[in-house]
C-alpha cells in the first residue's frame, strides 16, 4: 500500500498517529429552490378540429384520471339540450392530448364509443383512422362498427384479412372473408366455429344463409333476442331480412340514410339523428326537399310545411312566409326539432316587416335559437317582460325586468358579471382540468334544467368562468324558449 503515496499514513505536527485531512464542515444546510414544470405530453394531440376552431385547449384532459373522464363522457346528458350536444361534440372531436398515464386508450375509446352512441359514425371513423385503427383489437372493433354503418367496410376487412388477430368475432371474420371473395375460408371458419361452440346455432345458420344461395327459399330466421351487433345487422340485411332501425340505438339509423332505404325511412332516420346533434340541419333540409310529400299526417306534414317555408323564403314571398312559418314551427316542435328549423331558416327572417305581433315574436324567438342570436336580440319585437328578459340574456346585460318565476331568477344569478361556479368546478378550472370541468358542468346543467335551480345557476356561472359565455347564453335561451317536458 505504501507504493501509493496518498494511502501512506500521514501525521501533522504535534499530533501523534494518523490523521485525515478534510475540509471544514459547512455551518448549515440550505435547500435550493426547485421549480417544477410538467413534462410535455408524450403523445401527439388527437382530434378532427383544431383548438382554434373549437375554442378548447389541446391540454384540456391533462391532470384528470382517464377512467373518470371515460365515465363522465359515457353518461353526459345532452339529448334535451342542443347547446350541450354541440359542446359535447366539440369535446369529442377537438384536437387534444390524452391524460398523462393513459397507456390503454381509455379516453380515445370513450370518445369513439360516445360518438357511436350519439349516432355519429362519420367522425368516429375519421378519429380512429387518424389514431391508427389497427394498433389494437379495441380500436379495430370501433373502426369496423363505424364502417359497417357507412357502407365502407372494405378497408377494415382488408386489414382483418392481413392481421386476423385484430378480431375474435367469428361473424366479422366470415363476413370479411366473403366480402373479399374467399368463400372457402369463410365456410371453413363457419363450420369450425360452429362445431367448437364459438358461435351460437342461430349465428351459424345466419352465416350459412349469408354464404349459401340455396337457403334463399328457407323460412325467415327467428327475430334476434336483444340488440344486434353492427355485423349481425348487416348480415340480416344481406340475406334479405333487414331489421327495422326505429327501435334500435341511434347508430343504426345511419343505415337508413343510404339510397337503398326508402324516402320515408330516410326522413325518420334524419330527424332522429338531428335530435341528437349527429346530423347537420342542412342535410335534413335536403331530405325534406327531395320529393313531393307522398301522403299527409306525421312526417309528411313536416315535409310539406318545410317545403312551403323554404320556397317562400327562396322567392322572397313575404305573404307566403307569414302563412307557412307558424305551421312549420308547430310541426317541428312536436318532434323537438325547433333548433334545426331555426338553423335552416332563421337567418332569412331578418328585415321582414311583420304585421302580426305574434308572428313577429315567433320569428324573433326563432332567431334567438340560431347562432346569430346576439344580432337578433338588439331589436326586440315588443316590451313584454319575458321578451326583455330574453334580450338581456342574449346581450349579457343585467335584466331590468324579471319574470316572476324561480327559473328566471336562477338564470339571472348564473349570468352575473362575476361568475361564481361551485367549489369543485372552480378547483378543476384552477388546476387546468378543463375537460373534466366541462363534462361535470354538462351534468350540472341537466340537473338544473330538471328543476334543481341551484345547479342551474352554478352551471351557467361555471361555463362563463371557463370562458364559454356563448354556451351559457345559448343554453339559457333554449331553456326558456323550448318545451322539453313532453
Write the pLDDT tens digit of every residue in 123-148. 999 999 999 999 999 999 999 999 99
Is residue 151 a part of any domain in this protein? Answer: no
Rounded-to-integer distance, Cα 268 and Cα 266, Å: 6
Structure confidence at residue 216 as a pLDDT band (50, 70, 90):
low
Is residue 360 a part of any domain in this protein? Answer: yes
> What are the C-alpha distances in Å from 74 to residues 137, 319, 351, 418, 426?
20, 47, 43, 31, 23
Rounded-to-integer distance, Cα 248 and Cα 229, Å: 10
Q: Taking all residues of the chain, what is their mean pLDDT, rounded to a whole number?
A: 90
Is residue 352 a part of any domain in this protein? Answer: yes
Q: How many domains does the chain have?
A: 1
* Global model pTM greater than 0.85: yes
Structure confidence at residue 486 as a pLDDT band (50, 70, 90):
very low
Is residue 410 a part of any domain in this protein? Answer: no
H or E segment and range at residue 436: helix 434-449
Is residue 291 a part of any domain in this protein? Answer: yes
Point out which residues pair with 96 in neighbouring strands.
46
Is residue 294 a part of any domain in this protein? Answer: yes
Structure confidence at residue 2 as a pLDDT band (50, 70, 90):
very low
Structure confidence at residue 36 as a pLDDT band (50, 70, 90):
low
SS3 96: strand
Rounded-to-integer distance, Cα 374 and Cα 387, Å: 14
Structure confidence at residue 219 as a pLDDT band (50, 70, 90):
confident
Is residue 286 a part of any domain in this protein? Answer: yes
Write the pLDDT tens digit of every residue in 374-390. 999 999 998 899 999 99
List CB contacts of 382: < 8 A, sequence separation 6 or more: 357, 360, 361
Is residue 203 a part of any domain in this protein? Answer: no
DSSP 7: G
The whole domain housing 316 covers 281-382
Q: Tell me, what's the pLDDT at 100?
A: 87
SS3 431: coil
DSSP 259: T
Number of neighbouring beta carbons within 10 Å of residue 91: 25
Find out whether 163 and 180 touch, Cβ atoms under 8 Å: no
Amino acid at each position: 500500500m505504501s507504493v501509493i503515496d496518498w494511502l501512506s499514513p500521514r501525521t501533522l505536527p504535534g499530533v501523534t498517529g494518523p490523521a485525515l485531512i478534510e475540509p471544514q464542515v459547512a455551518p448549515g444546510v440550505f435547500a435550493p429552490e426547485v421549480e417544477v414544470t410538467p413534462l410535455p405530453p408524450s403523445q401527439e394531440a388527437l382530434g378532427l378540429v383544431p383548438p382554434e376552431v373549437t375554442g378548447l385547449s389541446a391540454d384540456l384532459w391533462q391532470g384528470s384520471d382517464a377512467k373518470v373522464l371515460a365515465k363522465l363522457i359515457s353518461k353526459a346528458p345532452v339529448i334535451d339540450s342542443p347547446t350541450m350536444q354541440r359542446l359535447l361534440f366539440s369535446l369529442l372531436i377537438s384536437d387534444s392530448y390524452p391524460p398523462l398515464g393513459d397507456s390503454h386508450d381509455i379516453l380515445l375509446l370513450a370518445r369513439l364509443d360516445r360518438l357511436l352512441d350519439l349516432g355519429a359514425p362519420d367522425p368516429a371513423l375519421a378519429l380512429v383512422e387518424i389514431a391508427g385503427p389497427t394498433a389494437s383489437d379495441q380500436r379495430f372493433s370501433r373502426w369496423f362498427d363505424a364502417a359497417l354503418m357507412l357502407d365502407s367496410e372494405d378497408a377494415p376487412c382488408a386489414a382483418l384479412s392481413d392481421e386476423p388477430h385484430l378480431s375474435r368475432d367469428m361473424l366479422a371474420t366470415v363476413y370479411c372473408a366473403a366480402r373479399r371473395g374467399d368463400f372457402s375460408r369463410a365456410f371453413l371458419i363457419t363450420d369450425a366455429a360452429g362445431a367448437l361452440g364459438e358461435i351460437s346455432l342461430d349465428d351459424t345458420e345466419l352465416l350459412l344463409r349469408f354464404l349459401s344461395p340455396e337457403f334463399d327459399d328457407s323460412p325467415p330466421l327467428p327475430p334476434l333476442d336483444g340488440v344486434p351487433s353492427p355485423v349481425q345487422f348487416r348480415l340480416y340485411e344481406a340475406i334479405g331480412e333487414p331489421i327495422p332501425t326505429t327501435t334500435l340505438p341511434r347508430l343504426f339509423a345511419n343505415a337508413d340514410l343510404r339510397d337503398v332505404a326508402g324516402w320515408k325511412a330516410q326522413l325518420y332516420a334524419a330527424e332522429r339523428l338531428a335530435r341528437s346533434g349527429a346530423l347537420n340541419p342542412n342535410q335534413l333540409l335536403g331530405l325534406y326537399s327531395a320529393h313531393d310529400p307522398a301522403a299527409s299526417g306525421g312526417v309528411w306534414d313536416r315535409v310539406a310545411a318545410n317545403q312551403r317555408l323554404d320556397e317562400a323564403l327562396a322567392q322572397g314571398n313575404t305573404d307566403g312566409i307569414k302563412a307557412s312559418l307558424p305551421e312549420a314551427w308547430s310541426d317541428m316542435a312536436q318532434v323537438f326539432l325547433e333548433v334545426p328549423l331555426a338553423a335552416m331558416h332563421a337567418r332569412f327572417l331578418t328585415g321582414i316587416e311583420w304585421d302580426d305581433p305574434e308572428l313577429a315574436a315567433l320569428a324573433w324567438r326563432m332567431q334567438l335559437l340560431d347562432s346569430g342570436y346576439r344580432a337578433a336580440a338588439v331589436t326586440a319585437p315588443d316590451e313584454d317582460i319575458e321578451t326583455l328578459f330574453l334580450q338581456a340574456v342574449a346581450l349579457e346585460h343585467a335584466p331590468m325586468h324579471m319574470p316572476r318565476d324561480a327559473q328566471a331568477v336562477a338564470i339571472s344569478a348564473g349570468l352575473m358579471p362575476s361568475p361564481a361556479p361551485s367549489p369543485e368546478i372552480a378547483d378543476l378550472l384552477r388546476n387546468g382540468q378543463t375537460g373534466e370541468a366541462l363534462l361535470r358542468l354538462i351534468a350540472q346543467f341537466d340537473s338544473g334544467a330538471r328543476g334543481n335551480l341551484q345547479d342551474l345557476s352554478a352551471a351557467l356561472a361555471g361555463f362563463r368562468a371557463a370562458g364559454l359565455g356563448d354556451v351559457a347564453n345559448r343554453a339559457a335561451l333554449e331553456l326558456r324558449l323550448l318545451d322539453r317536458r313532453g
